[in-house]
Each structure stands twice: as structure tokens, then as C-alpha cells.
């Protein structure tokens, strides 16, 4: 009886440790598409497919495939996305590298190729980069930052007479309240544009289910997304709402390259 009780207790502790790890790792994976340093700290080699249909208009379709894989403390990310429709839109190809230092801090950089295309006008080719950092300050607290186009490159390879690509700065802060609850704050500032601030949370009562939501201001925006896990594959669906533009449905499929043994 004593041995059985001890084994049950040890098993429960291991399960709790896995859940405690997963809620932070899941958040870092979720924001990893824009912060490669966070992706490195998530320890999740994964392929992700994302689809979004802005305001239910076929002309505003977002499609993306991304992958991340770690080799020791080195982390590689890759992403291809297209926004728009065949006659008009933008596609991006991004390749990134991140390095983990001391298991808690990561520094990353992404290189972007951007193609803006329109029927009968050809394609405008642009290149830029971003720099990202993320740090798990404690087991419960983490902080990250990103600078997109910090070198102020312009549209077009030569950039002569062209407007500059947007220069955008992001910060993210998360706090794990309990085993299955995490809250976060984020801010985004485009140079020459308004400051955008958001608050949200992630709730995971069980390893097979996760729900995330946030609200952002000053332009009102809210999102809710759910993910279900089956045989280590995640299926997700959600909606983003803006009062003046309506709803945007989105779908996600996450395919892990190996089982997380932590």
C-alpha cells in the first residue's frame, strides 16, 4: 500500500511538472512565428500551417507554413506566407537563426524576402531583417522584444525613391499564475503609427485542450482561439473581431516533429 501510494504520488508530480512546462512552452510556440528567440526557448520542433480569412473576404486570405527545429542550443526557423489573392497581394519568405544561452535567454535574427505583386504591374522585391530576444526571467515570468526592419530598409532592392518598409517594435511579457493558467501583455509600435497594447491569457485544464484569448487597444480588437490535441497533433480554430470590420476566422494545424519528453 505504501509503495503504491508513493508511486501514485510520483506519477502525479511528474504529470504536474509536464503541465507546468507545457503552458509556458505552448505560449512561446504560439508567439514564435514573430519572435524566433521565443521559438527557441519553446523546445518544440514543429511544422505549423495557418489559414486566416480577413473579414470573410476571399481577396484577403492569409496562408502560412512555418517550421522550427533545434540542434543543441541552436535553433532554425523557416516561414513562407502569402496574403491576398492571385491577382494582388504580398508573399514573404523568412529564414531565421536563434541561439540559447544558459537555457533561459535566447537571441535570434530573421532575414526576410518580401514580394508585393499586382496583375499587370509585376513584382516589387524587398529584403529586410529583424532582431529578437526572449528571456525566461524565472519559472513563472518571461520577457521578449523584437525589432523589425531596424536598419530602415526601403521597398525595392535598390530602394531609390521608394518609401521605407515599416519599422516595428514589439514587446511581450508573460506570467504563469498556476499549472494551467498563463497571462500575457504585449505592445506593438510602428514608427509613425499608433501604439497598440493588448492583454490576454491562456488556459489549459488538460493537455488535450487549450484556449487563448486577448483584447487590444486603442483600435478595439479581440481574439479567441481553441486548440485540441490528438496523438500529439494540434488542431486549432478561432476568430478575431473588430467592431468596424467584423470577424476573421482562422485555422491552425501544428505537427510536432517529435514527442516532447520533458
**pLDDT, average across residues 230-257:** 90
pLDDT on residue 207: 80
Place 34 in a pLDDT band, splitting at 50, 70 and 90.
confident
Residue 104 CB burial class (10 angstroms; 0-12, 13-18, ≥19): middle
Place 259 in a pLDDT band, splitting at 50, 70 and 90.
low
User: At 22, is the secondary structure helix, strand, or coil?
Assistant: helix
Domain that holds residue 213: 2-256
Per-residue pLDDT tens over the stretch 142-199: 999 999 999 999 999 877 788 999 999 999 999 999 999 999 999 999 999 989 999 9
Indicate which CATH number applies to the domain containing 223.
2.40.160.40
* Inside any domain, residue 73: yes
Residue 197 CB burial class (10 angstroms; 0-12, 13-18, ≥19): middle
* Inside any domain, residue 262: no
Alpha-carbon distance 218 to 47, whole Å? 33
Please state the domain count of the chain.
1
**pLDDT, average across residues 49-63:** 89
**Are the beta carbons of 198 and 213 closer than 8 angstroms?**
no
* Inside any domain, residue 261: no
Alpha-carbon distance 68 to 75, whole Å? 7
**Are the beta carbons of 250 and 50 closer than 8 angstroms?**
yes
**Distance, C-alpha 235 to centroid of its chain:** 16
Task: Give the pTM.
Answer: 0.85
* Inside any domain, residue 99: yes
Amino acid at each position: 500500500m505504501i509503495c503504491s501510494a508513493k508511486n501514485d504520488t510520483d506519477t502525479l508530480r511528474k504529470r504536474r511538472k509536464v503541465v507546468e512546462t507545457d503552458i509556458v512552452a505552448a505560449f512561446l510556440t504560439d508567439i514564435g512565428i514573430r519572435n524566433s528567440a521565443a521559438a527557441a526557448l519553446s523546445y518544440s520542433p514543429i511544422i505549423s500551417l495557418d489559414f486566416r480569412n480577413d473579414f470573410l473576404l476571399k481577396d484577403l486570405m492569409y496562408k502560412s507554413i512555418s517550421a522550427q527545429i533545434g540542434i543543441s542550443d541552436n535553433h532554425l526557423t523557416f516561414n513562407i506566407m502569402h496574403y491576398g489573392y492571385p491577382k494582388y497581394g504580398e508573399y514573404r519568405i523568412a529564414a531565421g537563426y536563434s541561439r540559447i544561452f544558459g537555457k533561459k535567454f535566447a537571441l535570434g535574427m530573421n532575414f526576410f524576402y518580401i514580394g508585393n505583386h499586382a496583375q499587370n504591374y509585376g513584382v516589387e522585391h524587398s529584403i529586410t531583417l529583424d532582431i529578437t530576444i526572449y528571456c525566461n526571467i524565472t519559472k513563472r515570468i518571461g520577457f521578449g522584444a523584437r525589432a523589425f526592419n531596424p536598419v530602415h530598409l526601403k521597398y525595392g532592392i535598390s530602394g531609390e525613391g521608394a518609401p521605407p518598409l515599416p519599422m516595428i517594435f514589439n514587446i511581450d511579457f508573460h506570467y504563469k499564475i498556476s499549472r494551467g493558467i498563463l497571462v500575457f501583455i504585449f505592445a506593438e509600435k510602428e514608427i509613425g503609427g499608433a501604439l497598440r497594447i493588448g492583454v490576454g491569457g491562456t488556459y489549459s485544464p488538460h493537455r488535450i485542450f487549450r484556449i487563448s484569448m486577448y483584447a487590444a487597444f486603442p483600435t478595439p480588437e479581440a481574439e479567441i482561439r481553441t486548440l485540441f490535441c490528438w496523438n500529439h497533433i494540434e488542431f486549432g480554430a478561432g476568430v478575431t473581431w473588430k467592431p468596424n470590420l467584423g470577424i476573421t476566422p482562422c485555422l491552425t494545424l501544428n505537427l510536432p516533429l517529435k514527442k516532447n519528453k520533458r
